[in-house]
Amino acid sequence: MTIFDPDELYEVAVPRASSPTKLRITDLRIAKLVGVPFASTIVRLDTNQGISGYGEVRDQASASYVLSLKSRLIGRNPCDVDAIFRSIKQFGAHGRQGGGVSAIEMALMDLAGKAYGVPAYQLAGGKHRDEVMCYADTPGDADPHRTAAKLRGRLDAGFTMLKVDVGVDLLWDIPDALIAPPYAREAKLTMHPFTGQQVTPDGIDYLVDYVRVLRDEVGYGVPLAMDHFGHIPLESCIRIAQAFEQFNLAWIEDMIPWQYTEQWKRLTNSTTTPTCTGEDIYLAENFKPLIDNAAVSIIHPDPATSGGILETKRLGDYAWDRGIPMALHLAASPIATLACVHLAAATENFIGLEHHAADVDGWSDLVTGLPNPLIVDGFIRVPDAPGLGFGDINPDAMRDHLDPSDPVFFSETSHWDSERSMDRIWG
């Protein structure tokens, strides 16, 4: 009997850049960047066949979240995406702490796609769309006319959907607009129900007048979402949501912490303004209370927290079954952005991808092999090249964004090679 090497069979049938069954991870290195748009850690997984895969730790997250996983990856086949993900997902958590696992999953998808010569969206089940719509995030200003001018600038740049920050930060110096104890202005680490703040009728009127200026300037035909309302309790959130119904908003985001399913359900049921949350939730299973209870109108995971491409695809499909659309939160370089593009292409109920870097000069220059600018008229064309679809990183452009306090640029990380522990979490 003749014994065939499976990779020799693949050589005939499947064009690809490597021998997939023999591919092994040999190294993990990182680069620490700032201003892309925020602090970000780029992850590179190297292999024994000379191909590398890239991922990105969520904005402003510790690089140690991904470095601590290195010893659990060396020697493994990156094409075993699901098996590796299942073995490391216990080391992630909600918020920025999900960033390490999520970045690794993105890099594995990049490597697997390159190994088999297919784009990442094919590994996620194929695509539903050829272009992905981006919505531009815009910080608010105390003067609504200056904020409106920023929004018009986004429209002039070709974006067809917008998001803006509107919240109690606008009210602190407005007489009789906000009831709050003296410490509340600095209560950034206190969850919303416990700050003692309440928005008054005068405060509601002020916010309504502010948003009316924005709507009058950009028109009612543009999808306009709102975020960063501040740490206010449910009752004030309900009053704001009801007052904003006249403005036909795309959604109101993260008004209360995602953990409070019953409060979200009360808010959603109290208004016709769509509600949205999820950027800090890790793993699809933790979205289920919100989805199963119809507690939000739109789910809003950040794939750099929620577990990467395949885990967020599972979440999107679960929400689709229950009639809930999915938008994607993101504040990242083109690397995590492209991971989101492949995810969005493969997920039927996707409606919009956040872009937080509209004001970052040279953002598209951070990678090569793609249209520049990457976003044209508010859309990103889904790349068909293998993996995440870009040619390579641009070292010169990335070095321009090195963190001056810790200028790490893919330096050796051998001191993380030997970390060992009993990782099993079942008896």
User: 348-361: per-residue pLDDT in tens?
Assistant: 999 999 999 999 99
| Mean pLDDT of the 149-163 span | 98
- Kindly give the residue spans of alpha helices, DSSP state H, lying in 14-143: 64-67, 81-88, 99-116, 120-123
Confidence of residue 10 (pLDDT cuts 50, 70, 90): very low
User: 21-75: per-residue pLDDT in tens?
Assistant: 999 999 999 999 999 999 999 999 999 999 999 999 999 999 999 999 999 999 9
Answer yes or no: is 205 within a domain.
Answer: yes
Whether the Cβ atoms of residue 120 and residue 110 lie closer than 8 Å to each other: yes
Q: Are residues 105 and 131 in the same domain?
A: no
| Mean pLDDT of the 256-280 span | 98
Answer yes or no: is 255 within a domain.
Answer: yes
Confidence of residue 108 (pLDDT cuts 50, 70, 90): very high
E strand or H helix at 314: helix 309-321
Which DSSP string corresponds to 383-395?
P-SSBTS-S-B-H
Pairing assessment for the beta strands 251-253 and 224-227 based on DSSP bridges: parallel
Q: Are residues 205 and 298 in the same domain?
A: yes
- The pair phi, psi for residue 136, each rounded to 5°, is -90, 125
Q: Are residues 214 and 296 in the same domain?
A: yes
Q: Are residues 248 and 299 in the same domain?
A: yes
Q: What is the CATH number of the domain that holds 79?
A: 3.30.390.10
Q: Are residues 202 and 130 in the same domain?
A: yes
Q: What is the CATH number of the domain that holds 300?
A: 3.20.20.120
Whether the Cβ atoms of residue 330 and residue 107 lie closer than 8 Å to each other: no
Q: Are residues 319 and 351 in the same domain?
A: yes
Closest CA to 115 of 23, 34, 4, 193: 23
Pairing assessment for the beta strands 162-165 and 40-47 based on DSSP bridges: unpaired
Q: Are residues 113 and 131 in the same domain?
A: no
Answer yes or no: is 14 within a domain.
Answer: no
Answer yes or no: is 13 within a domain.
Answer: no
Decide which of 321 and 16 is more confident: 321
- pLDDT beyond 70 at 384: yes
Answer yes or no: is 378 within a domain.
Answer: yes
CA angle 399, 400, 406 (to 5 degrees): 65
Q: Are residues 241 and 201 in the same domain?
A: yes
**Dist CA 42 CA 56 (whole Å):** 5
180 class by beta-carbon count within 10 Å (0-12 exposed, 13-18 middle, 19+ buried): buried
Confidence of residue 420 (pLDDT cuts 50, 70, 90): confident
The pair of structure tokens assigned to 104 is 């690794």
Find the domain containing 61 and state its range: 19-117+405-416
| Mean pLDDT of the 252-268 span | 98
User: 76-105: per-residue pLDDT in tens?
Assistant: 999 999 999 999 999 999 999 999 999 999
The pair of structure tokens assigned to 331 is 């504040």
Q: Are residues 167 and 281 in the same domain?
A: yes
3-state secondary structure of 88: helix
**In the chain, how many domains are there?**
2
Q: Are residues 155 and 266 in the same domain?
A: yes
Answer yes or no: is 422 within a domain.
Answer: no
Does residue 373 have a cis bond before it (omega within 30 degrees)? yes
Cβ count within 10 A of residue 149:
12
- pLDDT beyond 90 at 183: no
User: 295-316: per-residue pLDDT in tens?
Assistant: 999 999 999 999 999 999 999 9
Whether the Cβ atoms of residue 243 and residue 204 lie closer than 8 Å to each other: yes
The residues facing 387 across adjacent strands are 119
In this prediction the pTM is: 0.94
**Dist CA 302 CA 326 (whole Å):** 11
Answer yes or no: is 400 within a domain.
Answer: no
Beta strands in 273-316 (DSSP E): 275-277, 298-299
Whether the Cβ atoms of residue 319 and residue 291 lie closer than 8 Å to each other: yes
Q: Are residues 101 and 209 in the same domain?
A: no
Answer yes or no: is 5 within a domain.
Answer: no
Tracing tokens 């938008």 back to the chain, one arrives at 327
E strand or H helix at 380: strand 379-381
- pLDDT beyond 80 at 8: no
User: 322-374: per-residue pLDDT in tens?
Assistant: 999 999 999 999 999 999 999 999 999 999 999 999 999 999 999 999 999 99
pLDDT at 421: 81
Quick one: what percent of the chain has pLDDT higher than 70?
96
* Single-letter residue type at 332: A
Q: Are residues 129 and 103 in the same domain?
A: no
